Amino acid sequence: MNFVFENRWYSKHEILKQFSIAEKTWKNWLYDEKGKKKKDLASMGIYKLPGTNYWVIDAPKFQDWFNLWIGATDE
- pTM as predicted: 0.83
Q: Span 32-54, mean pLDDT?
A: 88
pLDDT at 75: 56
If you write DSSP's letter for every residue of 24-66 in order, what string do you get?
HHHHHHHB-TTSPBPS-GGGGTEEEPTTSS-EEE-HHHHHHHH
Quick check: 46 and 21 in contact, CB under 8 A?
Answer: no
Residue 56: pLDDT over 60:
yes
